[in-house]
Amino acid sequence: MTTSRTIWDPLRKKEVALTPEEQVRQWCIRVLSEQMQIPMHMMMSEVGFRLAGKQLRADILVYDRSARPLMVVECKRPEVALTQEVLDQAIRYNIVLEVKYMIITNGTKTFICRRNSDGFEFIDTVPTYTEMLCQQQ
């Protein structure tokens, strides 16, 4: 008999299977909450949406105070390299979500991007939720 390990997801408010990707997602939720000061009630995990008739799922979505998507986070297993393909996946999500910020992470490496007039640019500093809201204007 196999026992599957679980972890509490504070966004979905339930126990979920502790896969390597889920471990990265839960680590990221803590970082978003503690370091970026994003209120838990302004985040959702496993958010489904449609693009060109295809069902997609964002790992984590952060919303602004008007409930519009502000940031999308794509989490990968630790052994998955953060390639252009992973970045392109998050950029495709933006066609529907129209976010100002994107994060891609595998738990060991993390990239943060901000939308500008030409597309997305990598940024070195981790913005707080308040800074993201101010820069959204």
Average pLDDT of the residues of the chain: 91
Each residue of 28-43: pLDDT tens digit? 999 999 999 999 999 9
Q: What is the DSSP letter of 10?
A: T
Q: CA of 7: how far to CAs of 19, 41, 56, 120, 134, in Å?
A: 9, 19, 23, 33, 34
pLDDT at position 2 over 60 = no
Please, are residues 102 and 72 in contact by the beta-carbon 8 Å criterion? Answer: yes
Confidence of residue 136 (pLDDT cuts 50, 70, 90): low
Name the residue ranges covered by the structural domains of the chain: 6-136
Q: 103 to each of 17, 26, 54, how far by Cα in Å?
A: 23, 14, 22
The percentage of the chain sitting over the pLDDT mark of 90, rounded to a whole number, equals: 73
Residue 108 has a pLDDT of 95
Query: Selecting from 3.90.1570.30, 3.90.1150.10, 3.20.190.10, 1.10.10.60, what CATH number does the domain 6-136 have?
Result: 3.90.1570.30
3-state SS assignment for residue 42: helix
**Average pLDDT for 80-95:** 90
CA 118 to chain centre: 22
Q: Note the pTM of the prediction, 2 decimals.
A: 0.89
pLDDT (0 to 100) of residue 12: 93
